[in-house]
Amino acid sequence: MSSKHDPSKARRHWVYSRNEVRSLYDVSDGTISNWIRAGLKPIDSRRPQLLAGYKLRQFLTKMRWPDGRSPQEGRLLCSTCIGFKALITGTIKTTSADMKCVSVTGMCTDCHNMLEVDLPPDEMPEVFAASINIPGDSSDVIGEAVSGAIGRNGASIPTETSSSNLRWLYDFRIYLESNRGWDARTVDEYLRAAGRMSAFLGHKPFEQIGIADVRRFKDELRRRRELGGSQGLSWSTVLHTLDRCGGLFRWLQRRPAFEMDPDLPGYFRLARKERAAEAGMVKGTSLTFDKVLYIFATMPASTPIELRDRAIVAMFIVTGIRVAALITLRGKHVNTNTRWVNQDPREVSTKLGKHIRTYCLDLGSGLLDAIQQWARWRSANGFDDEAPFFVPDRYIQPNGIGLGYRPAEAEATQCWKSDAPVQRIIKDAARAAGIPEDAISSHDFRKVLHPFLSKRGKMQISEEVALQLNLGHTPQETIRRHYASMQESEREELLDDLCRRALSLRSEVELYAGYHNGRINEADPDYARARVIYQRYAEG
């Protein structure tokens, strides 16, 4: 059996048929039978034979690394999450494997899978340190005892363990893919929401779930919503979780073999008053433009990793790009000369699969220089247009003789598989700047741009449209009717002028008088704007 099959190809919350596993890993039916004889367990003994995604991941991980993998900063490789995770402190146990090794076991903080590895005794302190220094509670609705190593939006949801539920979820997935025509990411969100609900209800069979269970689940989601911070759920998560669970039970209601209270799906909806009150709330951020500039200014740039981290924060500030798109950018998508970022949905993970062309705003403070400096470093060290623009840590390592870095042809560079490393970069930078790390995430950079530019730059309607297009938003119908044909050159001009106004502390009157009297020369950063203002008023 080959040990090169990638365990992460199988999605944790999916259920696969034998044929789907064959296609997924390009193996024969005999290979699947060999895997089953070697320990891969189907969900039950019924036909057709189905395999749970998380079981498939566990089996392939153990087959690929039978002796385990060395910890990374005290975190062990979890075969369910497919990532290095800290252990829950109270579950860590050690036994002497031999004179030079200690066998360590403990439960993963995200999925509660039991992890095991043999390692030298001098690495044990790192394991305990990692388990103590994890964040507070995960956002998973599975009880207060669970701690998570990922943020609120990327929290791991426990997998389904009820065999009858797994069969229903397999049929539901086929329905969503075949009848609704949804892509894999959307289907995965539905199955994750079902996993969140099932975990809270103790993996009770769907046939036994009643109205009282749905009410308890809604109350728990509301409670998590009120917690806020890293321990709470966002309003969007609460709303979408209930909506997707309701979709599952509306589908189950139409199954002839499924019996349930006909009113049950309706209880997954929040009250109209509650939805209206939440929708009317102003959603913002505690950050300001000055704060994000201070975070950027305090970041060091002495090593390649620090250079990259600084460029990441700069990219967030000047574009407001979403983190999912940032971690999937490749060199060919970023042109530091023209300052355009091409978010092609065929290769970049954009919201709703939109094609977004983003212009990097000139907001001063060395932001654009930081991005260009990183682009020059990655190009000089063998990372081409197909390599990730922001190269993960494992590729930024010196080569064997200590000269230069591992060339791209030595190993095909891959993008980060999750946004967790980038979120940690942001939080570390915020903490170093004296800003509470719980008060900042990648999405806050998008919320900073509009208030700053609209207030300081006295934004016009055309500039509003240019900024919304830059952020990937769709302008309102009335505005779109008049500005639908905005060219990229026009957008560049509008946004550059808007940024110059926002960064200038002088009014138009002061600029007019300064240009007229010759006090503003070509070396002045406001020279171009002052000249335009002077010419406009002189011609008028």
Hey, what domains does the chain have and what are their CATH numbers?
1-66 (1.10.10), 163-279 (1.10.150), 289-444 (1.10.443.10)
Q: Is 103 helix (H, G, I), strand (E, B) or coil?
A: strand
Residue 92, token pair as written in the block? 């860590």
pLDDT at 152: 35
Query: Running DSSP on this structure, what letter comes out for residue 121?
Result: G
Helix (H) or strand (E) holding 451: helix 444-457
pLDDT at 154: 42
Average pLDDT over residues 422-445: 83
**What residues form DSSP beta bridges with 39?**
none
Going through 89-133 in order, the beta strands assigned E by DSSP cover 93-96, 102-107, 114-119
pLDDT at 408: 46
Residue 355, token pair as written in the block? 């094609």
Segment 178-204, tens digit of pLDDT? 887 778 888 888 999 999 899 889 999
* CB contact set of 127 (below 8 Å; sequence gap of 6+): 71, 74, 76, 87, 92, 104, 106, 119
Residue 429: HSE in the Cβ half-sphere, 13 Å Cα cutoff:
30
Residue 465, token pair as written in the block? 């449209």
Mean pLDDT of the chain: 80
Greatest C-alpha distance within the chain:
90
Going through 123-196 in order, the beta strands assigned E by DSSP cover none
Average pLDDT over residues 118-123: 77
d(CA 293, CA 502): 14
pLDDT beyond 70 at 409? no
pLDDT at 139: 29
Is the bond into 388 cis (omega within 30 degrees of 0)?
A: no
d(CA 221, CA 216): 9
Radius of gyration (C-alpha) of the chain in whole angstroms: 27
d(CA 313, CA 31): 46
* CB contact set of 461 (below 8 Å; sequence gap of 6+): 479, 483
One-letter amino acid of 386 = E
pLDDT at 482: 54
d(CA 112, CA 139): 15
Please name the residue that has the structure tokens 């494992």.
394
- Pick from 61, 62, 88, 84: which is nearest to 73 by CA? 84
Query: Running DSSP on this structure, what letter comes out for residue 405?
Result: B
The CA–CA distances, whole Å, from 400 to 26, 378, 379, 407, 408 equal 35, 19, 20, 11, 15
pLDDT at 506: 62
pLDDT beyond 80 at 467? yes
Indicate if the alpha-carbon torsion angle 314, 316, 318, 319 is positive or negative.
Answer: positive
Spatial strand order of the sheet with 340-343 comes to: 334-335, 340-343, 356-359
Segment 146-183, tens digit of pLDDT? 223 333 334 467 788 888 899 999 999 999 988 877 78
